[in-house]
Chain A
Amino acid sequence: MIISVASGKGGTGKTTVATSMALALQACDHVTFLDCDVEEPNGHIFLNPEFTETENIYIEVPKIDPGKCNLCGRCAEVCAFNALLVAGEAVITFPELCHGCGGCRYFCPVGAISPEPKQIGTVERGVAGRLAFVRGRLEVGAALSPPLVDAVRKNRGPGGITIVDAPPGTSCPVIHSVRGTDFCLLVTEPTPFGLNDLDLAVQMVRSLGVPCGVLINRAREGWGIIEKYCRQEGITVMMKIPLSQEIAEAYSRGVSLAKFDRGWNDAFKQLYREIGGLVANERSHCNQR
């Protein structure tokens, strides 16, 4: 079972939820924690892993052979990211803009372009108690995280439970984190911003065909806009975490919710069982169709 934890809005508590679930479930099964928020990984603050190996991740940027290039400009024309320029007697590349798609190489009529590896980040693997812990770290100055997110996603344990901590938002890095997971838990807060971005995230996971449920963090009495939205959309509210100074203080010390309170530890186990139920339900529906 692979569960992704995502949110439209940033700062809603993805990492709090993802690390708590990982800590709670390690007693039941083999758990792998994947920190896919490669621009700002922070799962390690709560899980304190020891890293045992590091792998460099590369994309392939174009290298021009000036002997073969006839300056036709096809490469610059097809590049959607403006990473190539035909200037006078040479083709200039801007590797910082290259997405590594290989389009220029494919379309070059004279075969003047070869792939050149460019490091965009590292994948670090380690252990945190009984948890397998993997995180990606994007190089400073690298603009493209999806290939690195993919490299982190490859690290799933044999069977067991994989928890994917996604970046915030609904753009490419998030899609690469959520796509192909069995379930996406969307963490939000009962504010207009939380609702707006939750709606965007729901549209995203639906277009990916990933079943989802909602977790309301910093829930307050009488702040019901998320529940109302979920009723309208037919989405299950899986859990609510109240707005609490105690929880915020524990968070600020790097103590995850599941570690801080036995009751929450059990609640996250129960959450996992409910997710399992929803996923099984979804699958049997799919089979019937």
Chain B
Amino acid sequence: MRIAVGASGPSKDAPAEERFGRCAYFVVFDENGNVLETINNEGAASAEGAGIRTTQILLDHNVNVVLTGRVGPKAINALLAGGVAVYTGVADTVSGTLENYKKGLMQPLAVPNARQHSGKGPEKRVVK
């Protein structure tokens, strides 16, 4: 299983990123917590449809689960259509987020929890 965690830097110690489409990096883990790869999310720079481009990049990297914060309406449709499980409620770091996921502390998401374009605003992070 490949688990992608939204990250503001290219490492597992980087702060976790709450926004989905505008997320700069994704750190991909296996289910044992080993880092498999780091994805530089080129979709974040899209003028429009960043969530869709980001989903495409995750699908191209065969991601099964994504851990993030806020997901817009088009992005959630794209993720669900691609069969990616979405969990929200990131911790302060990437590795902390993965720990929370393993402990079952994150919420599965099947509907959007953010308005479209909301990732374009000032960056906000949820710190538990």
Tell me if B53 and A82 are in contact (CB < 8 A).
yes
Nearest B residue (CB) for A80: B47
Tell me if B56 and A85 are in contact (CB < 8 A).
yes
**Number of B positions contacting A (CB below 8 A):** 18
Tell me if B55 and A85 are in contact (CB < 8 A).
yes
- List the B side residues contacting A278 at CB < 8 Å: none
Contact of B82 among A83, A85, A143 (CB under 8 A): A85
Which residues of A81-116 have CB atoms within 8 Å of chain B's CB atoms?
Answer: 81-83, 85-88, 90, 92, 94, 96-97
Tell me if B56 and A76 are in contact (CB < 8 A).
yes
Tell me if B83 and A85 are in contact (CB < 8 A).
no
Contact of B56 among A86, A97, A143 (CB under 8 A): A86
Tell me if B81 and A87 are in contact (CB < 8 A).
yes
Q: What 0/1 pattern do residues 65 to 84 of B give for CB contact below 8 A with A?
A: 00000000010011001110
- List the B side residues contacting A94 at CB < 8 Å: 49, 52, 74, 78
- List the A side residues contacting B56 at CB < 8 Å: 73, 76, 82, 85-86
Does B113 count as interface, using CB distance less than 8 angstroms?
Answer: no
- List the B side residues contacting A97 at CB < 8 Å: 48-49, 52, 74
Nearest A residue (CB) for B74: A94
Contact of A82 among B48, B77, B83 (CB under 8 A): B48
- List the B side residues contacting A90 at CB < 8 Å: 81
Does B50 count as interface, using CB distance less than 8 angstroms?
Answer: yes
Does B109 count as interface, using CB distance less than 8 angstroms?
Answer: no
Q: Closest CB-CB distance, B79 to chain A, in whole Å?
A: 8
Does B14 count as interface, using CB distance less than 8 angstroms?
Answer: no
Which residues of B68-119 have CB atoms within 8 Å of chain A's CB atoms?
Answer: 74, 77-78, 81-83
Tell me if B78 and A87 are in contact (CB < 8 A).
yes
- List the A side residues contacting B48 at CB < 8 Å: 81-82, 97, 143
- Give me the 8 closest cross-chain CB pairs, A-B, nearest first: A82-B49, A87-B82, A87-B81, A82-B52, A82-B53, A97-B49, A85-B78, A92-B81
- Which of A's residues lie within 8 Å of B, judged by CB? 73, 76, 81-83, 85-88, 90, 92, 94, 96-97, 143
- Which of B's residues lie within 8 Å of A, judged by CB? 43, 46-50, 52-53, 55-56, 59-60, 74, 77-78, 81-83
Given A85-B59, A87-B81, 17 extra CB contacts under 8 A = A73-B56, A76-B56, A81-B47, A82-B43, A82-B48, A82-B50, A82-B53, A82-B56, A86-B56, A86-B59, A87-B83, A90-B81, A92-B78, A92-B81, A94-B52, A94-B74, A94-B78
